Each structure stands twice: as structure tokens, then as C-alpha cells.
Amino acid sequence: MKTNYQSKLNLKETQIAIKLVKDTFERKLSKVLNLHRVSAPVIVFSKDKINDDLGSKNSALTFNISNLDNKDIEIVQSLAKWKRMALLRYGFSMYEGIYTDMNALRPNDIIDNIHSIYVDQWDWELIIKREDRTLNFLKEVVRKIMCALHETKVVVNKEFPVLKETICKDVFFISSEDLIRKYPGKNLLEREYLITKEYKTVFIYGISPRDGESMRAPDYDDWSLNGDILMWSDTLGDAIEISSMGIRVDEVSLEKQIAISKREDLLKGRYHQMILNKELPLTIGGGIGQSRICMILLEKFHIAEVQASHWSEDELKKLKKWGINIL
């Protein structure tokens, strides 16, 4: 904990600044990626298998509703599969896409400075051609996202001159395998800390469960064409993952990854059958953490400063001790 940390914005200013961040970034992101805002569900039917188990790391919250024939309902954990189906159903064309607010509950996540049980992010998805399924195309989309974020920070700093930090829009790209080789003997979090401290904005690509550390579901990202954007926070003195994204599976990579994961049960879902039958568009997509973006752009130390959630008594005591006002 930085003993000299003090928020540069009071509670009222913080709330106003959060809206500015979200409005500005949404506008700039939708422009650079040609995205249209849509409404998205907060619950889905269990039988449809379009929810995500996040590589079996979290079990979705499940319940039933009598007015819906007592069918099992799940609170969404991610909209990766739903978005791809929505692009087809809504009739979007090549190089058009959608974005939406995704709000989820992940009660098994460990609560700390950048994690809470409540997840809020921009989920986006863009239709691409088969020949776009390359690492170079993925990198170009990452650069566009960072340009939008950099421009947003400029707007926010101008509106709130007390905010002085800048963000690095120049992305350092490295594969997960090269990262392991670069820092032998270090675990995943240590590697991310070291590489992001050095380069400030990093995209780690080619992430799969095969390294024994990363939990990646087999049925939405192509493991050879995915990655995480990490940014360095001077305020926190640590790396923050702001986005997990990737080019989505086609019929070949889906079958391959399902076999590696021994999750053949997933292929029974309508979404999976539509991929195997080449009925769904090829896409790239991801999620961008709203509260984490606000933390970085508003130079905050704890996610509780930008997100209204629930915290343990121990966490509340720490926040009070540190003099941090929460939403």
C-alpha cells in the first residue's frame, strides 16, 4: 500500500468523471471498430449452453423461475457466445459489430484492489473474413482499442486538470511462451508484473490452458489468436489486466480445443453446432473492464472507489484505515 495515496477527486467529482470516461470511451471505441450499441441479457437458459464457465474457474449462479416453466436459468458470466449469435440474428454485415454492457456476478473471485464479486465490462464483437484470422489482424485491433483509450485519457485530464498521469498507447506484443522463456522460474502474476512494469502497455497473445496456469474456455477464443491487454498503474504500482479478447474459434479450432480439454459435452449446444455447421459469422471480440479502465484513467487505488459493490468486513476495515472513500 502506498502510504501517501490520496484520491485526486472527491466522491461527487468521481461519479461525474466515471460518466465522462464511459461516455467518451464508448463513443471512440464504437467509431474505431464500427460497433453499434445493443441491449444484452443478464440471464440465459442453462440448456442453451451459451453461458461461459471461464475455463471451469467459476460456476454460474443458477435458479429457476416459475413463470418460465421452471427452466434452469443462469446469470451470465460473459456474453462471448451470445454476441456471436446476436450478430447473425440481427443481420449485421461484414466489418460491422456490436457492443453492450455486460454485468455479471462471480462469487468465487478473490476480492482485492482490482477484483470484486461484481463484474462490469464492455463486451464487443465484430464480423471478420476468414483471411482476417491472423495475428497481424489481432494486433491491429489491439492498437485501435489503445488509441481510443489514450484519446479518452486526454479528454478526462483536460476536464479534470488535477489528473496528471498519461497512458502509453504504444503496445508491446509478446507471446505467452516467449514470456515464460523471458522470466524463467516466475509464476504468471510475476511475469505479468515484470513485463508490464517495463513496457507499460502489453498484449500477451497465444494464451491457452496448456501452460498449466491460464484458465481458458475451449469454445470461444482460438487459443492461437487470443490475448490479454495489460496496463501499468503508477497509482497502484502494479499491472492491471483491462481486456481479454481474441479471434473466435472456427469449426476446426473448436473441435481441436474441445478435444484437448476433454469437454465433448459442450458440443451438444446449439451455439457449438452452428459453428461446426459454419452457420455463425467469423468474429473477433472481447471484454473491456469498465471499473478497471476508470481506476487507471481516474488514478484510483482500489476498485471500490469506482464501483458500487459489496465488500467483506476485513476489506472495509482496510479501506477505512487507508482513508479510501468507497462508492
* 106-to-56, 198, 250, 285 alpha-carbon distances in Å: 12, 31, 28, 21
Work out the burial of residue 300: count CB atoms within 10 Å of its CB; fewer than 13 is exposed, 13-18 middle, 19 or more buried: buried
Tell me which of 106, 191, 216, 292 is the catalytic residue: 106
Question: Long-range contacts of range 162-167, CB-CB < 8 Å, 24 or more positions apart?
Answer: 162/8, 162/9, 163/8, 163/9, 163/297, 163/298, 163/299, 164/299, 165/234, 165/235, 165/299, 167/200, 167/201, 167/231, 167/296, 167/297
What is the C-alpha separation between 214 and 223, in angstroms, rounded? 11
Instruction: Tell me, yes or no, if 26 is annotated catalytic.
Output: no
Q: Which amino acid appears at position 36 of this protein? A: H
Annotated catalytic residue, options 52, 123, 219, 299:
52
53 is annotated as an active-site residue: no
Active-site residue identified among 244, 253, 257, 307: 244
Our answer to whether residue 121 is catalytic in this structure is yes
Residue 120 annotated in active site: no
Indicate if 214 belongs to the active site. no
Catalytic residue chosen out of the listed positions 228, 243, 299, 307: 228
Catalytic residue, from 121, 176, 233, 253: name it.
121
Reply yes or no on whether 191 is catalytic.
no
Active site residues: 52, 106, 121, 228, 241, 244
